[in-house]
A and B are shown apart, each in its own frame.
Chain A
Amino acid sequence: MRAKSIADFGLPVELAEPHAPVVLFDKVNLSFDEKVILRDVTFDVRAGHTKIFLGASGAGKSTILKLMLGLLKPDSGTIWVLGHRVDTMNEAQLMGVRHHMGMVFQEGALFDSFTVGENVGYKLYEETRMPLEEVQQRVKEVLGFVGLESHSDKLPSALSGGQRRRVAIARAMAARPTLLLYDEATTGLDPMTALTVDSEVVKLRDLERVTSVLVTHQLRDAFYVATHEARRGSNGDIEIVEAGEDKIEQADFVMIREGRVSFEGTAGELRNSKDPYLQKFLS
């Protein structure tokens, strides 16, 4: 059912300032029963920047993404996403905010009874009034962007792990989100495939101007995304190159340790940190 166009939700898609915070966490706490997941977590994500959350398994990284999307509610603290306070919104209100966000889940979370094309076009077809021809055109375009145009009619079960992640990225970007969240997008992939996925993240950020939030414990992938940028050459080809100083400054690392933010800074600051835990994590 095509219920509404994205514009119908009347959300502030264009943020007033070039680097205004797209996400703001202020002293967020969350516990499940007796177990504390997040303690006083505070950070912001600026428009067009990249935020990379590092930490051991179970540190609370993925929970942060779920809080941003409103899939979970914090026990205390405030969360602002795209100008909306999502921690107080109900499910119906959150649907409006989510129309401007995309998320790549850890295992892809593709709808296994839909084809690749149907997965990618799902949001546009079901939740907007976009005509079918335009949806098909956009699906073709984003599948081309991730290099899987010829796989449109296949079921997700017929794809490799890396291809599934790329379809998940294509699905997340299809509706042109302002903010993209990646939950362990490269975990379990071989280094070459992981690099392909990392390149897609960089391309989306730099060519589609999407603010990116990554959760990972794969340092190699995290540094790759932080230190590379995508450029379109004069012949139209996209190339991934070493990022300049300005671009590197726009990628922030956040270390989550036992539910707390134990470090926040750039790739250089992370490398030079004297914190024993960080040094152990990086080694």
Chain B
Amino acid sequence: MNGLRIWAIEAVKKALLEVQEYFRLCIAAFRGVFSRPFYFRDLIEQIDTIGLGSLTVVMLTGFFTGAVLALQSGMTLDQFGARPFVGRLISASMIKELGPVLTALMLAGRVGSGIAAELGSMVVTEQISALRALGTDPVRKLVVPRVLAGFIMCPILTVVADTVGLLGGWIIALTELRVSSGIYWSSVVEGLYIQDVYMGIIKPFFLGVVIVTIGCHVGLRTTGGTQGVGRSTTNAVVAASVVVLIVDFFVTRLLISILF
């Protein structure tokens, strides 16, 4: 019983330490954004890696989510004779919620894991120590460009996912549900309020930062050689995915209270 108590105390201490270190990294990264030196070339590289590199997976996710939403909601709407409203349902779902969250989850899998693996490998091969020895602050060189790239690219990728999702829904509405293009697109527009669009655009800024900072934090705290790198990669994806859903809930709540 005593052993269990000690184990629980140690686990809580460890968790609190992780949270403290995570916020310390976030503060250091935030400071790094507004002070010199700033590694602009690395920012461009990261925008390319995080943004353009994730385009295909985000487009595929958006397209098939929109398509399957149309298929499923078409069947349900038929029960009420409301099939022409399928566009309204897809636009509301995609733009307010599914677009930002699914894009963020895809980024957590692709970008979060990549960052954790890359930085973790650099830690275990002493490249991070070498950077410091060469007079470079690893937070400014490695974390800040990635955080900024995540902040910039996550909303852009979300807009792409939303657009492609609406196109996927349109193709299914046209070919499977026999809803005309005009009805579909007017329903899409009617189903949206400007507040919905704001919500769909604002949330990805938060989610992008969360994914990248978690990937960086987990990567930079890697220990235990190549096995440790594998562990960090898994931890980064799991942590980022769960935190994305939690942050999504709280930011949505906040935005609803502000916007509506």
Contact = CB atoms under 8 A, between A and B. Distances in A.
A112 interface: yes
Given A3-B37, A126-B39, A112 B125 contact: yes
B242 interface: no
Interface string A78-118: 00000000000001100110110111011101111000000
Select the residue from B36, B126, B135, B137 with max chain A CB neighbours within 10 A.
B135
A171 B38 CA distance: 22
A92 B139 CA distance: 12
Contact of B127 (A3, A4, A98, A112): A112
A122 interface: yes
B259 interface: no
Interface in A217-234: none
A111 B129 CA distance: 11
Given A1-B38, A126-B39, A71 B135 contact: no
A214 interface: no
B contact patch SS: loop
Given A109-B130, A111-B127, A95 B41 contact: no
A105 B134 contact: no
Contact of A111 (B38, B41, B130): B130
Contact of B126 (A3, A102, A109, A126): A109
A71 B141 CA distance: 17
B40 interface: yes
B186 interface: no
Interface residues of B, number: 18
Given A105-B126, A109-B127, A112-B125, A1 B134 contact: no
Contact of B132 (A71, A102, A106): A71
Contact of A91 (B37, B127, B130, B137): B137
Nearest to A3: B37
Nearest to B28: A91
B130 A95 contact: no
B181 interface: no
Contacts of A69: 132-133
B136 interface: yes
Select the residue from A4, A103, A109 with max chain B CB neighbours within 10 A.
A109
Interface string B3-46: 00000000000000000000000000000000011111100000
A126 B41 CA distance: 10
Contact of B135 (A107, A109, A112, A123): A123
Nearest to A128: B135
Interface in B107-144: 125-127, 129-130, 132-137, 141
A258 interface: no
Interface string B217-248: 00000000000000000000000000000000
- For the complex of A and B, the 6 pairs showing the least CB-CB separation, nearest first, are A3-B37, A109-B130, A109-B126, A103-B133, A123-B134, A98-B135
Given A69-B132, A95-B136, 20 more contacts: A1-B36, A1-B39, A1-B40, A1-B41, A3-B36, A4-B37, A66-B129, A91-B137, A95-B137, A98-B132, A105-B133, A107-B126, A109-B130, A110-B127, A111-B130, A112-B125, A123-B136, A127-B37, A127-B134, A127-B136
Interface of B: 36-41, 125-127, 129-130, 132-137, 141
